[in-house]
Homo-oligomer: A and B are copies of this chain.
Amino acid sequence: MNERPIEPPRRILGIDPGSRITGYGVIELVNARPVYVASGCIRTADGALEQRLAQIYAGLAEVVGLHRPTEVSVERVFLAKNPDSALKLGQARGVALVCMANHGLGIAEYAARQIKQAVTGQGGADKSQVQHMVTAILNLSATPQADAADALAIALSHAYAGQGLLATPARGARRRSSGRWRL
């Protein structure tokens, strides 16, 4: 009766909310290493705003139901580009956050720089570098769509933040003397 309780596996859902495309990515930590579970995009059809927001809510609720994440991670928004895009992003973001809260899930937030730093080693990395490194770290056979890759990067950031880990070296990546990974 002295057995250690079995810890449930950590499953992290990363979300990249947007009014037109919301990316999501799910990873599981297996022996403290991130393993790809699922990723994709929720694309909203044309129609009334509330119907598009309901599609985001329903899509994320389906992801939660299918993949049962234990933790959720989103990008922190520091400064939106302009009031109009901030309002649109805010609406999608509010829906994503409340959907998670309504499913009893807590949310961690990471700044864009932290996310890029975590997966590429460089806070100023561009989108294609993030896509490339996510593909390499998770050993994917194909490059995920950009928003899905961002969501996976957000999930990976949370995995690394909890473990104090750097990005896992990818096939073909070499460690530079600075300690960063280079493809």
Contact = CB atoms under 8 A, between A and B. Distances in A.
Interface string A46-87: 001111011011000000000000000000010111111111
A79 B83 contact: yes
10 contacts: A49-B97, A50-B106, A79-B83, A86-B86, A86-B90, A87-B87, A87-B90, A90-B90, A91-B94, A94-B95
Interface of A: 48-51, 53-54, 56-57, 77, 79-95, 97-102, 106-107
A93 B95 CA distance: 9
B80 A87 contact: yes
Contact of A93 (B79, B91, B101): B91
The main secondary structure of chain A at its interface with chain B is helix
A48 to B, nearest CB: 7
Those 8 A-B pairs whose CB atoms lie nearest each other, nearest first = A90-B90, A91-B94, A94-B94, A54-B101, A86-B86, A80-B83, A50-B101, A83-B86
B89 A87 contact: yes
Contacts of A84: 79-80, 86
B86 A50 contact: no
A107 B57 contact: no
A102 B94 CA distance: 14
